[in-house]
């Protein structure tokens, strides 16, 4: 008397078990596809991680651009701020950038070559968003007219600019 009930229950479990297995597989596949599509539809999804490439452009781009090593444009505004006493609105004619030291910290020196209003500015380490804040001005036409329109940054053996 109990045997047919067990046989029927076993068949029912098999039938619903297959159904549930199919549902789980379909839902899992859908979740995976949605995740994959979302992740790789985002800008710069296939960009390589650090180290990055910094680039300056003559007059058309008043900031440093940051690229991944495989060419993805990651940021058009790496630098934040500039000298308050600048005659013109800086950053204008970025020409050269060099990593160096300032007060025992790794910084980025940037030459801003705008004729009689030229600067070599110092920018700090990257913040959590990859931005570099203005620290100080290492040289300028305001302090030294000989720095007019610098194209390159160099240090002597004592690491003086």
Q: Give residue 108's pLDDT.
A: 94
For the segment 95-124, the average pLDDT, to the nearest whole number, is 88
Q: Give residue 78's pLDDT.
A: 92
> Could you tell me the two tokens for 153?
């940054």
Same domain, 75 and 16: no
- 104 within a domain of the structure (yes/no): yes
Q: Would you call 30 helix, strand, or coil by DSSP? A: helix
% of the chain exceeding 70 in pLDDT: 77
Same domain, 62 and 141: yes
Q: Give residue 125's pLDDT.
A: 92
Binned at pLDDT 50, 70 and 90, residue 40 comes out as: low
Residue 33 sits at φ, ψ, to 5 deg, of: -65, -40
Report the DSSP beta bridge partners of residue 102.
105
| pLDDT of 9 above 60 | no
Report the DSSP beta bridge partners of residue 94.
112
Whether 72 contacts 44, CB under 8 Å:
yes
Domain region containing 70: 53-147
Q: Check residues 123 and 143 and name the one with the higher pLDDT.
A: 123
121 closest CA partner among 80, 75, 72, 66: 80
Total number of domains constituting the chain:
2
């Amino acid at each position: 008397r109990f045997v047919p009930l067990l046989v029927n229950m076993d068949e029912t479990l098999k039938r619903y078990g297959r159904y549930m297995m199919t549902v789980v597989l379909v839902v899992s596949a859908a979740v995976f596809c949605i995740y994959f599509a979302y992740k790789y539809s985002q800008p710069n999804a296939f960009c390589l991680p650090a180290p990055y490439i910094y680039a300056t452009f003559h007059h058309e781009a008043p900031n440093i651009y940051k690229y991944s090593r495989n060419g993805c444009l990651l940021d058009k505004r790496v630098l934040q701020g500039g000298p308050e006493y600048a005659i013109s609105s800086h950053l204008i004619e970025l020409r050269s950038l060099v990593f160096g030291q300032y007060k025992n910290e790794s910084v980025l020196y940037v030459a801003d070559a705008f004729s009689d209003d030229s600067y070599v500015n110092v920018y700090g380490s990257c913040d959590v968003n990859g931005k570099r804040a203005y620290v100080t001005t290492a040289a300028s036409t305001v302090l030294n007219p000989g720095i007019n329109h610098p194209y390159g940054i160099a240090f002597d053996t004592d690491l003086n600019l």
